Amino acid sequence: MLQFFKMSGSGNDFIIIDNRSGQVEDALGDTRVEDFVKMVCTRRISLGADGLILIEGSKNAHFSWRFFNSDGSEVEMCGNGGRCAARFAYLKGIAPAAMSFETKAGIIDAFVEHDVVKIRLTDPRDLKTDYVLPLDGKELVVNSVNTGVPHVVCFVRDLDHYDVCGIGRKIRYHEHYHPGGTNANFVNVIDSGTIEIRTYERGVEDETLACGTGAVASVLISSCKGFVESPVAVHVRSGEILKVYFERVHPSIFQRVYLEGKTRVICEGTLWKEAYSSGS
């Protein structure tokens, strides 16, 4: 049986397991980690979550992680997951309040103060603004940037009534972003220090209540277009507010990009084998 934490980062929920001893592989036997993740993240028949995080050892930082979306796919980075992982590591004595951890996107710095966690993301890349994406016989003007994982950003007027799942799914699987696909964010700018967003997440394959790297992508694109200045408050669908800080050193080059927000420990406990076995 596996010990776990369940945590939420502004509406993104995650299962976190300390796997520095290799307990997950020992427990799973011949079961693939990807299949384990997919089963245990399934809501209503198991614990359920947007993703699962394995905390592992590192020679280059306080710890490393493996991050999995709920469909079992392993990806480079997750902003809200990173904030939850940092607080977990601090609570468990794995790392001090000011820490660094290793991801496939690079080394991430994090700072924990009570339930608020601020992380410095890797510098964004592949930024592109105002290009046309053919979609259902129409032309959609989009923007994109990689903030650890790829994101498309679209500006819309009526965010509450926008078809986030329908349009988001088509963008996510669009041939332009093959083979890996992309996340899709829909943004309304409120003022120079505030935006609101909705996000369709790759790997979850649905709209989520928050997306940290999506919040950062939306802010950086908004800055490129002259809509906002650092810092920016980002209102997400959970009702919480993320804050994004950045330095713009060129019209399309950013550095020292930070994501800050609250985290919440939901519970800790023991994951029974029934939670990740098919029962057959």
Active site residues: 78, 211
Q: Where do runs of H (alpha helix) occur along 126-206?
A: 164-172
Residue (of 106, 80, 1) closest to 47 by Cα position: 1
SS3 at position 65 = strand
Residues with Cβ within 8 Å of 173's Cβ and at least 6 positions away in sequence, in order, are: 181
Query: Phi and psi for 183 in degrees, rounded to 5?
Result: -90, 155
Do the beta carbons of residue 105 and residue 145 sit within 8 Å?
Answer: no
Look up residue 54 and give its amino acid.
L
Rounded CA gap, 226 and 228, in Å? 6
Q: How far, rounded to the nearest angstrom, does the alpha carbon of residue 11 sit from its chain's CA centroid?
A: 11
Burial grade of 238 (CB within 10 A; 0-12, 13-18, 19 or more): middle
Other C-beta atoms lying within 10 Å of the C-beta of residue 26: 10
- Report the sign of the C-alpha dihedral through residues 148, 152, 157, 159, in that order: negative
